[in-house]
A = this chain, B = another copy of it.
Amino acid sequence: MLYIVDGPERGKALREELESRGVPAWYIELWGHYIVATPPGARTEVKTPVKAVVELKTDYQLVSREWKRDPTPVFIGDREVREGKVFIIAGPCSVEGEEQIISTALAVKEAGAHALRGGAFKPRTSPYAFQGLGEAGLKLLAKAREATGLPVTTELMDPEDLPLVAKYADAIQVGARNMQNFTLLKKLGRAGKPILLKRGFGNTVEEWLLAGEYVALHGNGGVVFVERGIRTFDRTLRFTLDVGAIAYVKQHTHLPVIGDPSHPAGDRRYVIPLALAILAAGADGLIVEVHPDPDKAWSDAKQQLTFDQFRELMAKARELARALGKEFP
């Protein structure tokens, strides 16, 4: 149940009233609303005056489009991810060094990208694999931002690193393997930065929306959902990109949804068609891996695009955006 009230005092009063009756309650300010949230189910009659009560059958109440029908924009740096527009985040899988990240940042900016991605903390299946440059990587991202003006996004793995990552990044990525790391999600509720929430490759759409609900309920309304492919019996490509999930989530949340064509493709030959399919299915943007010399990349060597390929993608995406009636600034 969501109770919409007319200000923080009423909100806190209502939270106390509900808790005093044994109903768990959260007070949050999100998207210009003062909201008290309680678990869905039986409605509690309350004395504190409320502007509106929202009763939904799902547990993903805050992020649901059933009550907030207008799309919510999310700002990454000074740039807006929102419905009706195409937002492109591009950059290498891992930050490997100054020249690599700066040259990539310049190239993707020139091609029209709106933000730069780059991994400093890398979730690796094997403990023996390269685990990222850590803080040194974050500093290089900040340099690339200075050089290009592009806001930067990077993954956070360890909740203890939150202050560090928040210091450098304009948006924080939650990786597929951490989508149900509820400890991390709760802490990101207080991050003060927007979150790029990747769907877990073994997670349902409902679980993904609920992961977003965790972040929102703990105070952070800046959630961008990122579809990046799921695991299925078919391993022809690396993952199965689920464009149906994009179509579904666009209709069920007011928050932005983007797609990652690089991980499902697993091979740069298939990245462009998957990217176009993501946009055609209704996504609000892309996050794509690009590297100056992909074959020599320290991770994901097969799937990163060359600069030329990225320019080709951008030209095609621009045409597509026009056909779909979307802005592509």
Contact = CB atoms under 8 A, between A and B. Distances in A.
B274 A247 contact: yes
A85 B297 CA distance: 37
Interface in A249-307: 250-251, 264-265, 269-270, 273-274, 276-282
Nearest to A247: B273
A146 interface: no
Contact of A217 (B127, B186, B234, B236): B127
Interface string A147-169: 00000000001111000000000
A125 B233 CA distance: 16
A77 interface: no
A278 B274 CA distance: 10
The bracket for how many chain A residues form the interface is: 35 or more
A96 interface: no
Interface stretch (A14-22, A43-51, A99-107, A202-210): A202-210
Nearest to A266: B244
A308 B124 CA distance: 43
Interface-centre pick from A230, A276, A280, A324 (highest chain B CB count, 10 A): A280
B236 A204 contact: yes
Among A124, A183, A186, which residue has the most Cβ atoms of chain B within 10 A? A183
Contacts of A38: 128
B236 A240 contact: no
Interface in A192-208: 200-207
Contact of A264 (B235, B244, B279): B244
Contacts of A278: 277
Contacts of A250: 273
B205 A202 contact: no
Contact of A243 (B39, B123, B273): B273
A265 B246 CA distance: 12
A214 interface: yes
- Leading 8 A-B pairs by shortest Cβ distance: A202-B202, A323-B323, A231-B233, A280-B280, A39-B128, A247-B273, A276-B280, A177-B180
